[in-house]
Amino acid sequence: MEQRLDLRGLEPPEPLERVLDALAGMRAENCLRVLLPHEPFPLYALLRPMGYRWRVEGRVGCCELLIWSGDGPSGRAEKV
C-alpha cells in the first residue's frame, strides 16, 4: 500500500520531521510517496542509516520521492 504526503510549502525542518514521523508509523511492506519543492539531500543522510531506499522522480519545480524499506514494492535499488 502507498501512503502520500504533500510537503510543499513547509519550512525546514518540518518536511524532514513529517517524513520521519510517517516512516515510523508505516508497515514494512508499504511505501511512502512524498511531494517536495526540491530534492531533499539532507533527508538521504537520515534515510540511509535507517535502511530505507528511495527513488527520485523530477528535479526542477517539484520533486517526487518514493521511499520504501529493504527491496520494497518495485525491487529497485536506491537511485543515489
Partner 1 sequence: MLNTVGLSLEQAPPIAVPFRFFLTAPLFACAGGLLLLWQGDGATLSRWTPAALAVVHLIALGFLTQVMCGALFQMLPVLAGAPVPRPEAAARWTHGLLSAGTAALSFGLLGGGSLWLDAGAALAATALALFVAATAWALLRPAGISPIVTAMRLSLAALVVTVGLGLTLVAGLSGWTDLAHFTDWVDLHLSWGLLGWAGILIMGVGFQVVPMFHVTPPYPRWLMVWSAPLALLGLTAALALTYLDLGAAALGAVALPIAAFAVFAVATLDRQHRRQRRRLDATLLHWWSAIASAVAAAVTWLMHGPDGLLGVLVLVGVGIGLPSAMLFKIVPFLSWFHLQHMQVIARRFDYRLPTMHGFIPERTARLHLGAHLTALALLVGGVTLLPGMVRAGGLALAVSSALLAGVLANAAARYRRHAAAMSDRIRGLPSL
Taking CA atoms, 78 is separated from 4, 8, 30, 43, 72, in Å, by 19, 23, 16, 13, 10
Give the strand order in the sheet containing 63-69. Answer: 2-6, 31-36, 63-69, 52-57
Give least dist CB 18 to partner 1, A.
Answer: 13
List of residues contacting partner 1 (CB under 8 A): 9-13, 16, 20, 24, 37-38, 41-42, 44-46, 48-51, 59-61, 80
Give least dist CB 72 to partner 1, A.
Answer: 14
Give least dist CB 60 to partner 1, A.
Answer: 6
